[in-house]
Amino acid sequence: MKGDYQDLVDEISGLLEAPATLENRDFGLIAFGAHDSDDDSAMDPVRTRSILTRKSAPAVRAWFEGFGIARATGPVRIPAAPDAGVVRGRICLPVRHRGVVLGYVWLLDSTPGPTDDRLAAAMEVAERIGSLLADEERAGADLSRELRAVLTARRGWQYDMAVAALRTALGGDERGADGPHAVVCVTPWPSADAPPARSLPGAAAVCTMPLPGPGEPEPAGPPPAPGAAGPAGGAPPGAAPTGPGASGSPGSGDRPAGHTAHALAVLVRLRAADTPAPALAAAERLRTTAGGPATGGVGASRRGLTGLGEGWREALAAARAARAQPRLGPVAPWSGIGPYRLLAALPHGAPPDRSVRELLERSHTELARTAEVFLDCAGQAGRTASALGIHRQTLYYRLSRVEQLTGLDLADGEDRLLLHMALKAARL
Over the stretch 55-100, which tens digit does the pLDDT of each residue have? 667 777 888 889 999 899 999 998 887 776 677 888 999 999 888 8
Instruction: Judge whether 9 lies within some domain.
Output: yes
- Residue 77 is predicted with a pLDDT of 93
Alpha helices in 27-97 (DSSP H): 45-53, 58-65
pLDDT confidence of residue 83: 75
- Please tell me whether residues 169 and 309 are part of one structural domain: yes
DSSP state of 299: P
Q: Which amino acid is at 296?
A: G
Do 153 and 119 lie in one domain? The reply is no
Domain boundary among 321, 343, 365: 343
User: Amino acid identity, residue 37?
Assistant: S
Q: How many domains does the chain have?
A: 3
Does residue 352 contact residue 239 with C-beta atoms inside 8 Å? no
* Residue 396 belongs to a domain: yes
Bridge partners of 262? 189, 210
* DSSP H helical ranges for 99-191: 116-140, 144-152, 157-170
3-state DSSP call for residue 107?
strand
Nearest to 238 by CA among 122, 141, 95, 362: 362
pLDDT average, residue stretch 254-267: 70
- How many whole angstroms separate alpha carbon 339 and alpha carbon 424? 8
Q: In this model, does residue 150 exceed pLDDT 60?
A: yes
- Across the chain, what does the average pLDDT equal? 80
Kindly provide the b/e burial profile for residues 377-387, where b requires at least 16 CB atoms within 10 angstroms of the residue's own CB: beeeeeebbee
14 contact partners, CB below 8 Å, separation of at least 6: none
Give me the CATH number covering residue 48.
3.30.450.40
Residue 334, C-beta contacts closer than 8 angstroms, at least 6 positions apart: 297, 298, 299, 300, 314, 315, 317, 318, 341
Bridge-based pairing state of the strands 331-333 and 295-298: parallel
37 pLDDT band, cuts 50/70/90, is low
How far does Cα 178 stand from its chain's mean position? 15
Tell me what pLDDT residue 296 has. 95
Confirm if 167 and 305 have CB atoms less than 8 A apart. Answer: yes
Q: Angle CA(404)–CA(410)–CA(413) in degrees, nearest 5? A: 145
- Cβ–Cβ < 8 Å for 322, 296: yes
| Residues 6 or more apart in contact with residue 137 via CB below 8 angstroms | 102
- For residue 268, what pLDDT is reported? 92
pLDDT of residue 64: 87
Q: Final residue of a domain: which of 140, 157, 187?
A: 140
Is residue 169 located within the same domain as residue 300?
yes
For residue 348, is it within any domain? Answer: no
Using CA atoms, how far apart are residues 396 and 156, in angstroms rounded to an integer? 55
Residues 160 and 270 reside in one and the same domain: yes
Of 140, 162, 192, which marks where a domain is finished?
140
Helices (H) and strands (E) in the chain, counts: 13, 11
Residue-wise pLDDT tens digits, 383-426: 999 999 999 999 999 999 999 999 999 999 999 999 998 888 88
Q: Is 255 contained in some domain?
A: yes
Query: Which residues, 6+ apart, have CB-to-CB distance to 106 below 8 Å?
Result: 20, 21, 22, 23, 47, 90, 91, 92, 93
Which residue segment(s) compose the domain that 379 sits in?
354-427
Q: Are both 89 and 198 inside the same structural domain?
A: no
**Domain match, 153 and 169 both:** yes
pLDDT score, position 53 = 59
pLDDT tens digits, 324-377: 888 898 999 999 999 889 888 887 677 888 889 999 999 999 999 999 999 989
The pLDDT of 7-12, averaged and rounded, is 93
- Range from 171-180, 200-209, 299-308, 363-372 carrying the lowest mean pLDDT: 171-180
Taking the C-alpha atoms of residue 412 and residue 396, their distance in angstroms, rounded to an integer, is 16
**Residue 206 confidence (pLDDT):** 92
- What pLDDT score was predicted for residue 46? 62
Q: Are both 266 and 375 inside the same structural domain?
A: no
pLDDT at residue 386, as a whole number: 94
Residue 372 belongs to domain with CATH number: 1.10.10.2840
Q: Do the Cβ atoms of 358 and 352 come closer than 8 Å?
A: no
User: What DSSP character marks residue 372?
Assistant: H
Taking the C-alpha atoms of residue 231 and residue 320, their distance in angstroms, rounded to an integer, is 4
> How far is the CA of 240 from the CAs of 136, 253, 357, 418, in angstroms?
47, 11, 10, 18
Same domain? For 102 and 214 the reply is no
**Average pLDDT score over residue span 156-162:** 83
In a shared domain, residues 171 and 288: yes
Cα 304 from Cα 313, distance rounded (Å): 17
Stronger pLDDT, 143 or 295, i.e. the higher one: 295
Task: Specify the pLDDT at position 241.
Answer: 33
Closest CA to 87 of 108, 56, 107: 108
Same-domain pairing of 244 and 319: yes
Instruction: State how far the Cα of 357 lies from the Cα of 90, in Å rounded to an integer.
Output: 81
Mean pLDDT of 253-271: 72
Choose among 291, 345, 351: nearest CA to 318: 345
Quote the CA–CA distance of 31 and 9 in Å, as a whole number. 7
Q: Are residues 152 and 174 in the same domain?
A: yes
Q: What is the pLDDT of residues 221-260, one digit of tens each?
A: 444 333 333 333 333 333 333 332 333 333 333 444 445 6
Residue 344: per-residue pLDDT: 83
- Is the entire prediction scored with pTM above 0.75? no
DSSP-assigned beta bridge partners for residue 65: none
244 and 272 share one domain: yes
Distance in angstroms (rounded) separating the CA atoms of residues 250 and 255: 9
Reported as type and span, the H/E element at residue 58 is: helix 58-65
Classify residue 349: in a domain, yes or no: no
